[in-house]
Amino acid sequence: MTTITLVQGDITRQSADAIVNAANSSLLGGGGVDGAIHRRGGPAILADCRRLRAGHHGKGLPTGQAVATTAGELDARWVIHTVGPRYSQEEDRSESLASCYRQSLRVADELGARTVAFPAVSAGIYGWPLEDAARIAVETVRATDTAVEEVRFVLFDERAYEAFAQWVG
């Protein structure tokens, strides 16, 4: 059984086996939580990302996929980078957002991670409405078969926390 917990705060301050990053396909950093993770985690994370780009992920990481690197100086063993879809009013990309959570948990299982901290993937710069992003996140984690014992959603502000709390109950 996976326990879902909610925390309001900065994900880079969390202690967990794996911390999930809402990255972009380049894997080379950006703003939002991605920028914060690279800033606090230090250059080892970017060095690992560059190695991935030089190897298997030469074209970058497709939307909905996930891949792990070192967590550098973060209080975690790994950062799992996933690429959320940009929100679209024309096209339903929910399945792609659900895939981010499923694939991140699959990578976590491969690593043997038991505690995994997630941000609200796609709910910032990528424009996803918070309520919907929260529903997809919680429903997907509940429906995923994983050995991860704790999935902790780390929400940056009260609005995001409340959006997730509606679904976690």
Note whether 156 binds ligand AR6 by CB under 6 A: yes
Question: What track of x and - describes contact with ligand AR6 for positions 77 through 116 (by CB under 6 A)?
Answer: -------x--------------------------------
One symbol per residue from 21 to 40: x for binding ligand AR6 (CB under 6 A), - otherwise; what is it?
Answer: -xxx-----xxxxx-x----
Single residue of 78, 160, 161, 163 touching ligand AR6 by CB under 6 A? 160
Q: Which residues, 117 to 136, sit near ligand AR6 by CB under 6 A? A: 119-126
Q: Which residue among 6, 12, 45, 115 contacts ligand AR6 (CB under 6 A)?
A: 12
**In the complex, least distance from residue 17 CB atom to ligand AR6, rounded to whole angstroms:** 17
| Contact call for residues 124 and 32 (beta carbons, < 8 A) | yes
Query: In which residue are the tokens 């991605």 written?
Result: 34
* 3-class SS shares of the chain: helix, strand, coil, % to 5: 40, 20, 40
Member of 11, 45, 108, 116 binding ligand AR6 (CB under 6 A) = 11
Cα–Cα distances in Å, from 143 out to 83, 96, 102, 109? 20, 15, 9, 15
The verdict on whether 92 is a catalytic residue reads no
Rounded Cα distance, 77 and 66, in Å: 16
Bridge partners, 78 (sequence order): 18, 70
Q: Which two tokens stand for residue 166?
A: 């509606």
Measured CA to CA in angstroms, residue 121 lies from 38, 48, 82, 155 at distances of 16, 21, 8, 10
Q: Extract the tokens encoding 42.
A: 């230090």
CB of 1 to ligand AR6, least distance (A): 25
Q: How far apart are CA 71 and CA 37, in angstroms?
A: 9
List the interface residues with ligand AR6, window 39-68 (CB under 6 A): none
Active site residues: 34
Chain residues in the site for ligand AR6 (CB under 6 A)? 10-12, 22-24, 30-34, 36, 84, 119-126, 154, 156, 160
